[in-house]
Structure 1
Amino acid sequence: MKKRKIELAVISDVHLGTYGCHADELITYLNSIQPKKLILNGDIIDIWQFSKRYFPPSHLKVLRKIIGMASKGVEVYYITGNHDEMLRKFSNTSMGNFKVMDKLVLNLDGKKAWIFHGDVFDVSIQNAKWLAKLGGYGYDLLILINSFLNWSLTKMGREKYSLSKKIKNSVKGAVKYINDFEKTAADLAIENEYDYVVCGHIHQPKKEVYENKYGSCTYLNSGDWVENLTALEYSFKRWKIYHYNHDRLSPFFMDEDLKEMDMNDLIASITDKEVNMYDVTEEHLSQTEEENIENDFLDDKGLSQD
């Protein structure tokens, strides 16, 4: 498989060690990309629900793949979340290209990106952790039931159905929580003069520009690898939400705008230099004409290399 070269990839909420994790699909995705940086934005390993009875080879293969990427020069940042909060005792630890931290600020082509998992906004986790853990077990059970349901629907030739999405979209409290989460993250980012705020946690992939009276920023969420199978990718000064179920089946563009993007803009985005395509074309044609004249001269003299 030919790997796509990208600047940055962000994945979160993989929940290795649970029945809902799509480890095989994640391995396929990681094998398809060649990023300079890989950000694991929390809840990669589900330590809350970890059990020695269930950690299949495919889940272990994900960890090996990530470590292998780090050993080959990819900068890997493991940002801790609530389900893997035990790793927070190792925050600011570095092992070669592998770094563990609670948050990260990156400079992306002159713009600041603020990256963290997002559980800091979750009151239920801060004040009643046992309730959040209980909810986690209930969510895992729902995903397990949903897996059986989708297996049955597939056998009958029908489309898959997401019970968790249906519940989230139909419960007003859940919808309000997600909206409040996104607005809070964006407002704080604007207040602290960040251009991008990148989260996970709520399993809702999104890319949206938020504005208030103090300014604007782009809110991004990497989604998850339980329901949505999504990631964030940054390249050519643009962010893209990668959807495994769609993008793996069709020719992939880093951004839809690239299809119609002017060649001058594309080259400038890569080199940070303005390039006149007319001059490039003229130069190329001049070189070609000179080569043709030289070849004709060699042919006339019987000195052609052929």
Structure 2
Amino acid sequence: MIDQGRKIYFISDVHLGAPALNNNAERERLFVQWLDEIKDDAAMLFLMGDIFDYWFEYKKVVPRGFTRSLGKIAEIADSGIPVHFFTGNHDIWVFDYLPSELGIQVHYTEMHVTLGNKKFFLAHGDGLDPFDTGYHFLKKVFTNRFFQWMFARLHPNFGIKIAHGWSKKSRLDKGMGDEFKGPEKEGLYVFANSVLEKEEFDYFIFGHRHLLLDLPIGNHSRYINLGDWINHFSYGVFDGEKFELKRYKK
């Protein structure tokens, strides 16, 4: 059950520190401002992946920056509000630093959970699109322990430089050209339909695609894509009965 007057919040694809964007400080300020506003009535917070544009934890080193965001997330967790962090394709290398320092729970795969009286399927979405076969291979490389160990042997200055170069060539540098071309061509929607053949869910909540979508799926379910904090400045909120997509008023 969700206490009366409390809400559950969802946000994805903030891409803090993205080298392809020139408004990172402003976007982080707005993100922290949003976090500060929701903490008063939040029952739970779900950070649904790609919160950071790049994150790799060396044994003794983490990426510099994000001080305001990390502090505010820690404040929320310290207040007793559960914070769930899903790794995305940009921050896939979150290990033990964030849970130990911030007091949050990290999820590396999808999560099935009942909130209020509704059943949710939660995931960032990377690696689930049946059409994106190229990334399926890349994800196996990125999550391979040996390759992670090899990358960690690089000096952080060099490793982070490589990662930022890769990021600048990503779709962030191409104006976020994703378009919705219909449910039958939307890979995560197709994936959600395949899940419904085996198990019922009320809501499928994804990030990853940077699309702001709320679509019917199956007999009574909803497919939600949370948008992003680049073009849409959007988030989801669930009050125990209904789920809404909203845009943050800057």
Common fold: TM-score over 0.5: yes
Higher helix share: 1
CA drift at 1:73: 1.0
Distance 1:199 1:44 in 2: 13
Conservation of the 8 A alpha-carbon contact between 2:18 and 2:167 = no
Match runs of 1:61-100 below 5 Å: 61-87=68-94, 89-90=95-96, 98-100=104-106
Once the two structures are superposed, residues 282-301 of structure 1 have per-residue CA deviations (whole angstroms, 9 ceiling, x without a partner) of: xxxxxxxxxxxxxxxxxxxx
Name the SS for the 1:206 alignment partner.
strand
Structure 2 CA distance for partners of 1:29 and 1:10, relative to 1, 3 Å: same
Alignment correspondent of 1:10: 10
Q: Which amino acid aligns with 2:173?
A: L
CA drift at 1:104: 1.9
Q: Which amino acid aligns with 1:232?
A: G
CA drift at 1:197: 0.8
Alignment correspondent of 2:134: 124
2:191 is equivalent to residue 185 of structure 1:
yes
CA drift at 1:97: 5.0
Distance 2:36 2:183 in 1: 35
Structure 2 CA distance for partners of 1:77 and 1:216, relative to 1, 3 Å: same
Conservation of the 8 A alpha-carbon contact between 1:7 and 1:234 = yes
Match runs of 1:34-183 below 5 Å: 34=39, 35-47=42-54, 59-87=66-94, 89-90=95-96, 98-102=104-108, 103-120=110-127, 121=129, 122-128=132-138, 136-138=167-169, 139-142=171-174, 163-164=175-176, 167-169=177-179, 175=181, 179-183=185-189
Alignment correspondent of 1:26: 31
Structure 2 residue corresponding to 1:204, chosen from 198, 208, 211: 211
Q: Which amino acid aligns with 2:32?
A: I
Work out the percentage of aligned pairs sharing the same amino acid: 25
Structure 2 CA distance for partners of 1:168 and 1:117, relative to 1, 3 Å: closer
Structure 2 CA distance for partners of 1:23 and 1:127, relative to 1, 3 Å: same
Conservation of the 8 A alpha-carbon contact between 1:233 and 1:239 = yes
Alignment correspondent of 1:260: none
More relative contact order, 1 or 2 (CA 8 Å, 6+ apart): 2
Alignment correspondent of 1:233: 237
Conservation of the 8 A alpha-carbon contact between 2:204 and 2:223 = yes
Name the SS for the 2:186 alignment partner.
helix
Distance 1:228 1:41 in 2: 15
Distance 1:168 1:96 in 2: 33
Segments of structure 2 that go 5 or more residues without pairing to the other structure are 142-162
Once the two structures are superposed, residues 127-160 of structure 1 have per-residue CA deviations (whole angstroms, 9 ceiling, x without a partner) of: 2469xx8874233434xxxxxxxxxxxxxxxxxx
User: Bigger CA drift: 118-127 or 175-184?
Assistant: 175-184
Distance 1:55 1:177 in 2: 39
Conservation of the 8 A alpha-carbon contact between 2:70 and 2:102 = no
Structure 1 residue corresponding to 2:247, chosen from 229, 236, 243: 243
CA drift at 1:220: 1.0
Once the two structures are superposed, residues 177-233 of structure 1 have per-residue CA deviations (whole angstroms, 9 ceiling, x without a partner) of: 99422422321342221111110000012111112xxx4421111111122111111
Distance 1:115 1:194 in 2: 10
CA drift at 1:55: 5.5
Once the two structures are superposed, residues 44-95 of structure 1 have per-residue CA deviations (whole angstroms, 9 ceiling, x without a partner) of: 1222699x9x955xx32111111110001110001111111112x55xx677
Segments of structure 1 that go 5 or more residues without pairing to the other structure are 143-162, 250-306
Structure number, greater radius of gyration: 1
Alignment correspondent of 1:223: 227
